[in-house]
Amino acid sequence: MRAIIARRGLRGASLAAPGGRRCVAAPLAPAFTEQLRGGFEKASAGGKLSYEAFNGHLSGALPAVSVHGDKIRAAFDKSKDQEGFVDWPAFSSLAAMEPGILESFVPMEARAQPVYDELKATFDSGKTKPLEWRKQQLRALQRLYVENQQALREALHGDLGGGEWRSLIENGAIDDLEHAIDNMDEWAADEEVIPHGKHAAKGKWILRKEPKGVVFLMGAWNYQLTLVIGPLMDIIAAGNCCVIKPSELAPHAALMLEKLLHQYLDPSAFRVLQGEIPETTALLQLPWAHIMYTGSTAVGKIVMSAAAKNLVPCTLELGGKSPVFVDKTADLALAAERILVAKMTNCGQWCVTPDYILVEKDVEQQLVDELVKFASKRLGSPQDQRGDGSKYDFIQRIVNSRNAGRLKEYIDTSGGKIVFGSAQDCDVEGKFIPFTIISNPDRSSKVLREEIFGPILPVLGVDSVDAAIGVARDIDATPLALYVYTRDGAIAEKVMHSVTSGSAGVNTCNEQSVNADCAFGGVGSSGFGAYHGRTGFLEFSHKRTILYRTAEGHLFPKAMWPEANRVSDEAIATFKAAYGVE
């Protein structure tokens, strides 16, 4: 399999590819070669370059990608002489030594178009259309999981911490892949449509599901594997090619995905490109057949705006403030357990996780007591939550210090009563935020106005079901998820009827999002489009209507045909009679 750099490396460089095959690198664009050489000469002394000079001058002048930082340093160390310097031949050979290094300095505008063109040529050749080829790629993804468990665990731990269980919960894709393989024939089969009414043309009507083309998939950092492999399996099942850009906020997983996807999937149809905001902006300019994005609503708007310039359809899986309503008939101990397990998972960094609780005031204190009791038993003190770095740790870290600082600010400015946890135990630089329950924060506070996406759980008392509906609509009219805990089915239906959401759960949280047979997606500000299983297959397919016409009849009888561009009174009367109008 060709690594991407093999296509942009030094002229004539022969690189070993996964599987033992060889490939010859295409030359770099002349303009970039001169830019790279010029930067090297400017930063070097006497034709040689130290790593410090390289890092201070060359990497500052060119768009290096941060996820490659460790690889760049390691490759530099391999090629330096005894005095710690590299010359131009040694530096330029980094491409052959460590695929992806030199490429990371190529502006995305120069990288993206050739990759897109190659994948588009593959798609146009028809290679991805046979169902057996698609199944082969899905089986390769299964092997990727099964054969690389330890490497995947280390990558996930490197980004978010936590114990071994954290990586194990992302293995659900193995079963979902099997589900897609087993059902693809049925999903892809032509559907014969029986037309209604007397005006449909005679013949055989077919609805055919066809691949769209080259899809751009933008992964997320919170479930680094699931939120790439999940939509990718639907994209593959539908017969498309794909460029994948993992999140730069989870660099360990991003590099592991790049390595493994290039190793296991057909490189002529699937490619990983790394990048941050400038690189992503460049990628969004291309005329993709479809864009799949998982992330924040703010970035979703940027993605959609860029896609509109090329009329590219999008699937946006965003977020929002998913409410939980607990009424006075609910099993409060059960509600507390299920809400907290959902909220604790991945340290609250899950798009469908409960964001806040609305509880009837008659049982508000009882619910708070149950929440605190369960959290105390299952999570322990802030020191317990920090863990010992072993495989048994449950709590993860926040993705970065910026988000940890944001969460601490939510606690500091909530205006409510902290009944579990404390701001004093937050470690922003260490990316640790203890699980915190806040009773009745101010309605105008950030913790109730912005998506939390972390281990903070506000609890608000409300007078009635109607009051809860009003608060939920005011905070976020179209959240990604909605949860109701009640023993009264009429109450559950009333809340779900009154508050629109991407998905909903009664006496549960989060579980509705992990069924491969059911659609997963948002509505309104929480996104649009959906994937998983058959829904995902259809999302990334073009639904093409085909009519195989017979010789019998015509949509317009001959009596309606014009003569010398004049329509007769008989034709007009026939039309009126056919549609029952005067």
Following DSSP, what letter does each residue of 309-345 receive, concatenated?
TTT--EEEE-----EEEE-TTS-HHHHHHHHHHHHHG
pLDDT at 485: 99
Tokens of 15: 């690189």
What is the average pLDDT across 369-373? 98
The model's pLDDT over 253-304, given as tens digits with 9 standing for 90+, comes to: 998 999 999 999 999 999 999 888 888 999 999 999 999 999 999 999 999 9
523 has pLDDT over 50: yes
pLDDT at 101: 57
Strand boundaries in 338-388, DSSP class E: 356-360
pLDDT at 128: 99
Give the largest Cα separation in the chain, rounded: 98
Tokens of 93: 């050979």
The model's pLDDT over 153-181, given as tens digits with 9 standing for 90+, comes to: 999 999 998 888 888 889 989 999 999 99
Chain mean position to CA 279: 17
The model's pLDDT over 530-547, given as tens digits with 9 standing for 90+, comes to: 999 999 999 999 999 999
Give SS3 for 549.
strand
- Per the CB < 8 A criterion, the answer to whether 399 and 449 are in contact is no
DSSP label at 67? G
- Per the CB < 8 A criterion, the answer to whether 436 and 420 are in contact is yes
Q: For residue 474, what are the contacts with CB-CB under 8 A and spacing of at least 6?
A: none
19 has pLDDT over 50: no
Confidence of residue 28 (pLDDT cuts 50, 70, 90): very low
pLDDT at 9: 30
Tokens of 111: 């990288």
The 503-506 sheet, strands edge to edge: 417-420, 436-439, 456-462, 356-360, 323-326, 481-485, 503-506
Confidence of residue 388 (pLDDT cuts 50, 70, 90): confident
Confidence of residue 26 (pLDDT cuts 50, 70, 90): very low
> 33 versus 552: which is more confidently predicted?
552
Strand boundaries in 335-491, DSSP class E: 356-360, 417-420, 436-439, 456-462, 481-485
Give the residue from 353, 312, 342, 333 showing the smallest Cα distance to 479.
353
pLDDT at 98: 53
Confidence of residue 105 (pLDDT cuts 50, 70, 90): low
Confidence of residue 56 (pLDDT cuts 50, 70, 90): low
Distance CA(270)–CA(262), nearest Å, equals: 8
pLDDT at 59: 54
The model's pLDDT over 457-476, given as tens digits with 9 standing for 90+, comes to: 999 999 999 999 999 999 99
Distance CA(339)–CA(333), nearest Å, equals: 10
* Element (DSSP H or E) covering residue 140: helix 131-147
Distance CA(262)–CA(268), nearest Å, equals: 10
What is the average pLDDT across 105-125? 87
Does residue 83 carry a catalytic annotation? no
377 has pLDDT over 50: yes
The Cβ-side half-sphere exposure at 432, using a 13 Å CA radius, reads 17
- Per the CB < 8 A criterion, the answer to whether 397 and 160 are in contact is yes
- Residues linked to residue 271 through DSSP beta bridges, in sequence order: 243
- Residues linked to residue 314 through DSSP beta bridges, in sequence order: 291
The model's pLDDT over 357-366, given as tens digits with 9 standing for 90+, comes to: 999 999 999 9
Q: For residue 19, what are the contacts with CB-CB under 8 A and spacing of at least 6?
A: 1
Given the residues 258, 317, 360, 451, select the one marked as catalytic: 317
Q: Exposed, middle or buried, 136 (CB in 10 Å: 0-12/13-18/19+)?
A: middle
Q: How does the average pLDDT of the chain come out, rounded?
A: 87
Distances, alpha carbon 461 to alpha carbons 369, 458, 493, 523, in Å:
14, 10, 21, 27
pLDDT at 68: 60
Give SS3 for 443.
coil
pLDDT at 502: 97
Distance CA(99)–CA(267), nearest Å, equals: 14
Place of tokens 């508000």: 364
Weakest-pLDDT range from 65-69, 157-161, 284-288, 447-451 = 65-69
Chain mean position to CA 388: 30
**What percent of the chain is modeled with pLDDT above 70?**
87
- Per the CB < 8 A criterion, the answer to whether 330 and 323 are in contact is no
pLDDT at 23: 34
- Per the CB < 8 A criterion, the answer to whether 351 and 223 are in contact is no
Give SS3 for 496.
helix
The model's pLDDT over 199-239, given as tens digits with 9 standing for 90+, comes to: 788 889 999 999 999 999 999 999 999 999 999 999 999 99
